[in-house]
């Protein structure tokens, strides 16, 4: 394969080199990178063998790396770095701070170095021609590597360039204006991860003005970050695990630092250019990053960081403006970037191609409004349990405890009657702000034992209120204990064993609806029954709904319309979905619990196991982050298909956390779901993923 | 429909009567009976309208009930009871003790009454002719009702008669001898429940001889029973729930007593004949029962039972010989009826038609041998955990605790090395007695937290042994706590996180196999991996197996052959069974856990919920007793079909408790399983159910 024109020792060397490339696939850094990027281990790598050229043959030789547009901002400028008398590695590794390719690439750090444009104008012009040819051919921004050997230009490599979300957005619209690409392609050009990056916070410019910049570096990764200094990857991971925002500060980064870079909120390096390892990786992840900040000196032995005369140590605070390359030592305010008009224009374009709905999981008016501002078309999961958490929850929680600890149906009904106005007002507030957009109310599924009073003091308090002995309270609390609460008295089971719990919720919901109607609003209530295993459970609950609805309609003199549906979150429900759809008007797949039961994985217990399984490649990814399409996905498809075999227009959605994961969203699109529902901040990502899934499908046709 | 020949008031009466019959379908007693017999509520009932005849028109009128063979023993005698000048109800209700139909029906209680044979010889002869005609037509024993109105015989009803297991067996062989039925039909004639009844205990005749009979009654239900007196159905249920053997003692039984009769180990009534309610029901269930025991007088107010001058109260002990009708007040020994040669002959016949294998779940040589004597063809589930229970378990348990509480891989390996000889010897003992029959060894799946030392004293003991502090032991025990242990660190997950646990088991098993081979035995080892979710887990464990097998083979100088398979007990495993079968040579469906995960029902927690669900008809039966064919059954079928799509000769079995339930066995037969495995005492029942399933299928063709 290598031909015969090489002497034997050169051949051996090349063979060694090729083997080294193949071997590198299983190197620690490659494995780590794939794990983070979710690239399967069995893809393998290819090796291109090409003739060698040398950039280190004197001052007429050079090497460089360039982007055909600015990869940080997207500006239409040739953007790159070069080094005279050097090999490509020297640029990429960030060991020498490289020179600018041209005027547009000059910045504070390198403005006194000579550009290629200045020193080798002929060759630079040739390179610019190649840049144009490549862009016109590929219709995209490219990342190129070149070497000049004794005055002759050789192109080494060309690939689609990594870019920030902002750059991707700007370039896509530029190319749209130039008619190089169409709107569909614009939507395809921004990855969900890049969009997520646009949603990421930046330093508040007003606040930033108040403080002095203590050092400047290259703006390698956009956005802002405020956190404490971590001097090693290990420390950054440790901080992240403890939920402490942190900035990884390094001389330069190596591939071995990849996991620490992932864990850090921001990255600051003393050396390296815009194409150094740290810069490339950070940009790929949309992570705030400043490189080549010469003012930074690190004394690892002492654990000190010197920045222009100031001394910092691990745990001290820094703030980074990754878009400008500025470093601060103050806690600067952060703001969000979603007000960008290009972002809004892009999202409008996204919705042109999107066919699947996007809702949000929200439990109060604030979250609901925020999600609507992100484009949510309603609430796919409203958990009434949230009224028992946080502010103003004390009174309702007290009443809930009375209910949980009641000893007879009469006691329970009395406690529930007390609770009804709270449920009504809580649900009504969110129904009101959604006006016209649907709200899917999940019937109460409280972890009883968690809401029960814990500890002697709390129990004594409850005992006093209920006028029973402490021992009696303790006995009742103990009786709530379950060996496997995940598969115990939960969900609809509660509503069947204690129908009064369902009754009070229907009364509260229908009353809230009736009141809003009378106040001139347009409440769109959808009630869903959790943890269903068969249609009889639904019939049981529906009978209660019918009874209470008639009662409330008579009281208020209105006709209430609502939808009655169920969560599909137990494997059995997917198997008998055809029967369940006889009563359910919609399905909402609860993929969290469905994943738990399908795997026999308790989320409370298997985190360590899942991590180990992923590390040992027993499973490709954490099934709670990305839907297990092979297993759980089969059940989702089955549920949709069987449900619609009974009720052709059955509305199907998903309200597990997978609703905000782009890969899962694409799967749900193909499974035929009508909507996904996710947390407010994931709504734009879900909209984009849904649009891209539709475009991909239309292109296949 | 009723014609016009009746006057209006009679019509109205009849209409009322017909309505009453239809209504009775939803009467409390009918509902209760259906629940026990597993008859669906939506079958409904039919009403036959026939001309009325009257048995109460003087001494030339009479009414009676008869069986064409003796329903208790199966003897070929016409067997029945009659009453002169009475209606049918009077016989069935057991209000009057009826007279014998003929000499063969005479017994201690009624021998002085006149038989129909004596008083109405002409009509009796006519009835005998009808008996012959019916039997020759139906080829079965029939239960008939007749009325004589002023000398004219009318047949009211004819149906296949309920019978004891012994009677069923005897009659079937009689009819086989008479060539009325063939061997296939003999096998179909004994229901699994009747066979189970044959397996039920009787009083030890030798022991029984030692004691005086304190009263005699009619032998209405065969077998023996020893237990304490319960005077009400409620009390019988209460005793049963507490696991206390009990005898329900009543004046007579009503349909309202059905649940108490079910709960009782034996039934004794003061009134009623062989065709009274108590007798019919008890016989149907194969329950020991004595009726018409006039010596019994009950004072419910005082709670006393007087029997021939002795005074008993609730909680006092009685013993019943239901085959003879004898009552004792001593704790008589009980023995089993399986030594009956007709039983053995029947089981041999069963196996002629059976195509599906039957194995047993057994964990020691004694149980294994007992199961083999019941016809088990091997062990389908051997749980090594049982070496940590019961006698001689102290030392192994100590070592297991050392392993569970070890803090490092080295400590764990050291503890496991200590355990290896115990595992080897324990497994070897059962492999040895099975000689040539397969033993399916499930890799260890211990509930870690259950085996951990409980309480301060035990923990201090362990601390001393491990030379660590009590606090340290407590910390390690606490670390084992899981929120949902059912879906936590169990099964193969243990063997992947701690491969040394798998390694030591393979070493023990292969060593035991090698030693037995060298000793001239024929060990047939099948190793199965529990709780599998995908094929990678199996590959991981198989690699360990290969490594250890080579090591053991080298040490002993033998070639070991064994099968490597897996339990299919997690829903996901059924969905990816095609891939799992790439490595697994057999599947064993663990329908207990599969039911838990498919329903999201924790067996530890949902007993009360399941009971309520069955009562409220949300589910038709407890899915842990009878396989949920609609839901879990789908997954079993899917698993088998997909597994065999990869490996056509994949051996499939079931080792959940459903393996001993006749309805489930029939389902497993149709799902194409190679064998079912159940507890030793259920083995004959499973054999019969499997044979009947095969016969039913062949008849359909």
Name the residue ranges covered by the structural domains of chain A.
1-49, 62-163, 200-335, 354-447+482-700
Residues of B whose CB is below 8 A from A531: 600
Task: Report residues of chain B scoring pLDDT below 70.
Answer: 1-7, 92-94, 108, 275, 284, 286, 336-340, 390
A with B: how many residue pairs have Cβ under 8 Å apart?
A: 163
DSSP E strands: which ranges in A389-518?
438-442
Chain A CB within 8 Å of residue B596 CB:
yes
CATH class of B62-163: alpha beta
Chain B CB within 8 Å of residue A610 CB:
no
Mutation site for A-interface testing, chosen from B41, B481, B484, B614 by largest number of A Cβ within 10 Å? B484
Helix axis angle, A499-518 to A535-556, nearest 10°: 40
The more confident residue out of A80 and B193 is A80
User: Taking 70 as the threshold, does the pLDDT of residue A2 lie above it?
Assistant: no
Residue tagged active-site, from A288, A289, A293, A655? A655
Chain B CB within 8 Å of residue A620 CB:
no
CA dihedral A464, A468, A473, A476 (to 10 degrees): -150
Tokens of B179: 């060539």
The continuous run of DSSP H or E covering A562 comes out as none
Q: Do B631 and A493 touch (CB under 8 A)?
A: no
Report the residue of chain A nearest B577, measured CA to CA.
Answer: A631
Chain A CB within 8 Å of residue B449 CB:
no
Q: What's the angle, vertex CA B529, arms to CA B528 and CA B533, rounded to 5?
A: 135
Q: Which residues make beta-bridge pairs with B305?
A: B298, B312
Q: Is the dihedral of CA A52, A56, A58, A59 positive or negative?
A: positive
Q: Tell me how far apart the alpha carbons of residues A67 and A76 are, in angstroms, rounded to a whole number.
A: 10
- Comparing CB atoms, the residue among A531, A575, A598 nearest residue B572 is A598
- 3-state SS record for B124-174: HHHHHHHHHHHHHHHCCCEEEEEEEECCEEEEEEEEECCCCHHHHHHHHHH
Q: Tell me how far apart the alpha carbons of residues A318 and A268 are, in angstroms, rounded to a whole number.
A: 10
| A233 close to A314: Cβ distance less than 8 angstroms | no
Mean pLDDT of A592-619: 92
- Tokens 């291109």 belong to residue: A48
Q: Tell me how far apart the alpha carbons of residues B53 and A388 are, in angstroms, rounded to a whole number.
A: 71
pLDDT tens, residue by residue, B459-483: 898 888 888 899 998 988 888 888 8
Residues of A whose CB is below 8 A from B409: none
- Comparing CB atoms, the residue among B537, B572, B619 nearest residue A618 is B537
Q: Tell me how far apart the alpha carbons of residues A243 and B108 are, in angstroms, rounded to a whole number.
A: 87
Residues of A whose CB is below 8 A from B571: 571, 597-598, 600, 631, 635
- Comparing CB atoms, the residue among B487, B597, B630 nearest residue A605 is B487
Residue B80 burial by CB count (10 A; 0-12/13-18/19+): exposed, middle or buried? buried
Mutation site for B-interface testing, chosen from A484, A537, A576, A607 by largest number of B Cβ within 10 Å? A484
Q: Tell me how far apart the alpha carbons of residues B183 and B587 are, in angstroms, rounded to a whole number.
A: 33
User: Taking 80 as the threshold, does the pLDDT of residue A340 lie above it?
Assistant: no
Q: What's the angle, vertex CA A542, arms to CA A538 and CA A548, rounded to 5?
A: 150
The pLDDT of residue B483 is: 85
| Active-site annotation holds for A521 | no
The pLDDT of residue B3 is: 36
Q: Do B600 and A486 touch (CB under 8 A)?
A: yes
Residues of B whose CB is below 8 A from A572: 598-600, 628, 631-632
| B506 close to B514: Cβ distance less than 8 angstroms | no
User: Taking 70 as the threshold, does the pLDDT of residue A1 lie above it?
Assistant: no
| B402 close to B396: Cβ distance less than 8 angstroms | no
What are the phi and psi torsion angles at B273 (to 5°)? -105, -170
CATH architecture of the domain with residue range A200-335: 3-Layer(bba) Sandwich (3.50)
pLDDT tens, residue by residue, A171-227: 999 999 989 899 999 999 999 988 877 877 788 877 888 899 999 998 888 789 999
- Comparing CB atoms, the residue among B496, B540, B602 nearest residue A488 is B602
Mean per-residue pLDDT of chain A: 91
Q: Tell me how far apart the alpha carbons of residues A613 and B539 are, in angstroms, rounded to a whole number.
A: 13
Nearest of A507, A647, A520, A503 to residue A584 by alpha carbon:
A647
Tokens of B479: 């670390």
Q: Do B576 and A630 touch (CB under 8 A)?
A: yes
Q: Tell me how far apart the alpha carbons of residues A425 and A508 are, in angstroms, rounded to a whole number.
A: 8
Q: Tell me how far apart the alpha carbons of residues A327 and A319 are, in angstroms, rounded to a whole number.
A: 6
The pLDDT of residue B1 is: 31
Residues present in chain A in total: 701
Residues of B whose CB is below 8 A from A493: 606, 609
Q: Is the dihedral of CA A26, A27, A28, A29 positive or negative?
A: negative
Q: Tell me how far apart the alpha carbons of residues A74 and A175 are, in angstroms, rounded to a whole number.
A: 11
User: Taking 90 as the threshold, does the pLDDT of residue A120 lie above it?
Assistant: yes
User: Taking 70 as the threshold, does the pLDDT of residue A360 lie above it?
Assistant: yes
Nearest of A32, A70, A71 to residue A261 by alpha carbon:
A32
Residues of A whose CB is below 8 A from B570: 598-600
A residues 628-657 closer than 8 Å to B (CB): 628, 630-632, 634-635
Chain centroid to CA A440: 23
Chain B CB within 8 Å of residue A195 CB:
no
- Comparing CB atoms, the residue among A484, A597, A617 nearest residue B605 is A484
How many H helices and E strands in chain A?
A: 29, 26
Residues present in chain B in total: 701
Q: Tell me how far apart the alpha carbons of residues B52 and B47 are, in angstroms, rounded to a whole number.
A: 14
Taking the alpha carbons at both ends of chain A, their separation in whole angstroms is 40
| B441 close to B378: Cβ distance less than 8 angstroms | no
- Tokens 């850094």 belong to residue: A29
The pLDDT of residue B40 is: 84
| A324 close to A289: Cβ distance less than 8 angstroms | no
Q: Tell me how far apart the alpha carbons of residues B303 and B307 are, in angstroms, rounded to a whole number.
A: 13
Mutation site for B-interface testing, chosen from A533, A538, A600 by largest number of B Cβ within 10 Å? A600
CA neighbours closer than 13 Å in the CB half-sphere of residue B62: 23
Q: Do B487 and A634 touch (CB under 8 A)?
A: no
Chain centroid to CA B422: 34
* A62-163 and A354-447+482-700 share one fold: no
Residues of B whose CB is below 8 A from A631: 533-534, 571-572, 575-576
The more confident residue out of A579 and A206 is A579
Q: Is the ipTM of this complex over 0.90?
A: no
The pLDDT of residue B2 is: 33
Residue B698 burial by CB count (10 A; 0-12/13-18/19+): exposed, middle or buried? exposed
pLDDT tens, residue by residue, B600-638: 999 888 888 998 999 899 999 999 989 999 999 999 999
Q: What is the CA radius of gyration of chain A?
A: 30
- The string of DSSP codes covering A19-56 is HHHHHHTTSHHHHHHHHHHT--GGG-----------S-
Q: Domain A354-447+482-700: give its CATH code.
A: 3.20.20.60
Q: Do B488 and A605 touch (CB under 8 A)?
A: yes
| Active-site annotation holds for B655 | yes
SS3 of A418, please?
helix
The pLDDT of residue B115 is: 94
The mean-pLDDT minimum among A279-283, A404-408, A443-447, B504-508 falls in: A279-283
Tokens of A395: 């009174």
Mutation site for A-interface testing, chosen from B450, B488, B569, B571 by largest number of A Cβ within 10 Å? B571
- Tokens 């508040």 belong to residue: A204
| Residue A622 to residues A194, A626, A627, A635, Cα–Cα distance (Å) | 22, 6, 8, 18
The pLDDT of residue A3 is: 36
Q: What is the CA radius of gyration of chain B?
A: 30
pTM value is: 0.82
The pLDDT of residue B337 is: 61
């Amino acid at each position: 394969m290598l031909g015969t024109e090489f002497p034997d020792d050169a051949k051996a060397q090349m063979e060694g080199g090729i083997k080294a490339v193949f071997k590198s696939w299983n190197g620690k850094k490659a494995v780590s990178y794939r794990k983070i990027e979710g690239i399967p281990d069995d893809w393998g790598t290819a090796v291109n063998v090409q003739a060698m050229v040398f950039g280190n043959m004197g001052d007429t030789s050079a090497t460089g790396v360039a982007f055909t547009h600015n990869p940080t901002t997207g500006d239409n400028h040739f953007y790159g770095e070069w080094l005279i008398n050097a090999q490509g590695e020297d640029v990429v590794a960030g060991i020498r701070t490289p020179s600018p390719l041209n005027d547009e690439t000059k910045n504070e750090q390198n403005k006194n170095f000579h550009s290629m444009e200045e020193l080798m104008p002929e060759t630079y012009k040739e390179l610019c021609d190649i840049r144009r040819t490549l862009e016109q051919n590929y219709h995209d921004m490219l990342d190129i590597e070149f070497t000049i050997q004794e005055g002759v230009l050789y192109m080494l490599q060309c690939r689609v360039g990594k870019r920030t979300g902002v750059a991707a957005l700007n370039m896509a619209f530029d190319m749209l204006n130039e008619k190089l690409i169409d709107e569909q392609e614009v939507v395809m050009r921004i990855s969900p991860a890049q969009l997520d990056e646009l949603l990421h916070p930046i330093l508040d410019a007003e606040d930033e003005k108040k403080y002095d910049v203590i050092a400047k570096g290259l703006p390698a990764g956009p956005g802002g970050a405020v956190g404490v200094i971590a001097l090693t990857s290990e420390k950054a991971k440790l901080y992240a695990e403890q939920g402490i925002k942190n900035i990884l500060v390094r001389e330069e980064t190596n591939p071995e630092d990849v996991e620490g870079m992932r864990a850090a909120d921001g990255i600051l390096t003393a050396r390296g250019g815009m194409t150094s390892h740290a810069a490339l990786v950070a940009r790929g992840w949309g992570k705030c990053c400043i490189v080549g900040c010469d003012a930074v000196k690190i004394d690892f032995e002492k654990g000190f960081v010197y920045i222009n005369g100031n001394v910092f140590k691990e745990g001290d605070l820094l703030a980074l403006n990754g878009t400008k390359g500025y470093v601060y030592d103050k806690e600067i305010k952060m703001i969000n970037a979603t007000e960008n008009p290009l972002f809004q224009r892009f999202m409008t374009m996204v919705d042109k191609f999107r066919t699947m709905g996007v809702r949000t999981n929200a439990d109060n008016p604030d979250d609901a409004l925020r999600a609507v501002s992100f484009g949510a078309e309603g609430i796919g999961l409203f958990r009434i349990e949230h009224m028992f958490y946080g502010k103003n929850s004390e009174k309702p929680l007290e009443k809930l405890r009375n209910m949980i600890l009641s000893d007879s149906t009469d006691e329970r009904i009395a406690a529930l009657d007390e609770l009804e106005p709270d449920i009504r007002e809580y649900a009504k507030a969110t129904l009101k702000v959604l006006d016209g957009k649907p709200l899917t109310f999940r019937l109460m599924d409280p972890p009883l034992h968690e809401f029960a009073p814990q500890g002697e003091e709390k129990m004594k308090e409850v005992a006093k209120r209920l006028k029973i002995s402490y021992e009696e309270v303790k006995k009742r609390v103990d009786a709530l204990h379950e060996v496997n609460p995940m598969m115990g008295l939960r969900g609809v089971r509660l509503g069947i064993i204690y129908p009064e719990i369902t009754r009070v919720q229907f009364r509260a919901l229908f009353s809230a609806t009736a009141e809003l109607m009378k106040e001139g609003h347009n409440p769109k209530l959808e009630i869903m029954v959790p943890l269903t295993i068969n249609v009889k459970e639904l019939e049981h609950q529906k009978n209660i709904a019918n009874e209470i609805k008639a009662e409330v309609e008579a009281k208020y003199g209105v006709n209430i319309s609502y939808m009655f549906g169920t969560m599909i979150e137990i494997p059995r429900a997917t198997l008998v979905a055809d029967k369940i759809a006889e009563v359910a008007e919609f399905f909402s797949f609860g993929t969290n619990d469905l994943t738990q039961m399908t795997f026999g994985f308790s989320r409370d217990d298997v985190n360590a196991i899942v991590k180990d399984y992923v590390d040992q490649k027993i499973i490709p990814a954490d099934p709670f982050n990305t839907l297990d399409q092979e297993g759980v996905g089969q059940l989702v498809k089955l549920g949709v298909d069987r449900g619609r075999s009974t009720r052709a227009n059955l509305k199907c959605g998903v309200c597990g956390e997978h609703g905000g994961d782009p890969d899962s969203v694409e799967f749900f699109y193909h499974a035929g779901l009508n909507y996904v529902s996710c947390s407010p901040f994931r709504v734009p990502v879900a909209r984009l993923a849904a649009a891209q899934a539709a475009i991909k499908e239309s292109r296949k046709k």
